[in-house]
């Protein structure tokens, strides 16, 4: 299998904070603004506020240490599947990217070779 580093969702934001999902040599690099827009929208849904959402609300996890192990990949996938674009409050430019990014995040997590995914936060 070919290792992949996907920078598509950070292109144009170089120098700004980034968040990286890491599984071995595979990486999905995301501008933090996109990532926070997704999590903010998920907080407006009926999704349980556990796992990655709890870490986001309490500013723990990847905010405290990098890398941070994503402890429940299946929960994160389940939460991402509840993403609702109508809950996004950012600009249309950001909104236009998010559905594709959410699908790529889900695919990345589903394709993880192991149940071990880290989040690196810059």
Is this structure's pTM higher than 0.85? yes
Supply the pLDDT for residue 121.
Answer: 84
34 contact partners, CB below 8 Å, separation of at least 6: 9, 94, 97, 98, 101
Q: Helix 32-43 to helix 51-58 angle, to the nearest 10 degrees?
A: 110
CA gap 62, 19 in Å, rounded: 9
Domain ranges of the chain: 5-121
6 contact partners, CB below 8 Å, separation of at least 6: 27, 28, 29, 104, 108
Q: Is the pLDDT of residue 1 over 90?
A: no
pLDDT tens string 63-85: 677 788 888 999 999 999 999 99
Distance, C-alpha 95 to centroid of its chain: 15
């Amino acid at each position: 299998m070919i290792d992949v580093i996907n920078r598509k969702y950070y292109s144009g934001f170089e120098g700004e904070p980034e968040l990286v999902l890491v599984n071995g040599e595979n990486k999905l690099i995301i501008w933090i603004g996109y990532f926070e827009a997704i999590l903010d929208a998920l907080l407006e849904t009926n999704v349980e506020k556990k796992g990655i959402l709890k870490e986001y609300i309490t500013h723990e996890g990847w905010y405290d240490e990098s890398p941070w192990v994503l402890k429940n990949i299946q929960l994160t996938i389940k939460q991402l599947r509840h993403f609702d674009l109508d809950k996004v409050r950012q600009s249309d430019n950001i909104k236009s990217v998010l559905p594709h990014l959410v699908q790529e995040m889900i695919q990345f997590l589903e394709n993880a070779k192991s149940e071990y995914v880290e989040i690196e936060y810059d």
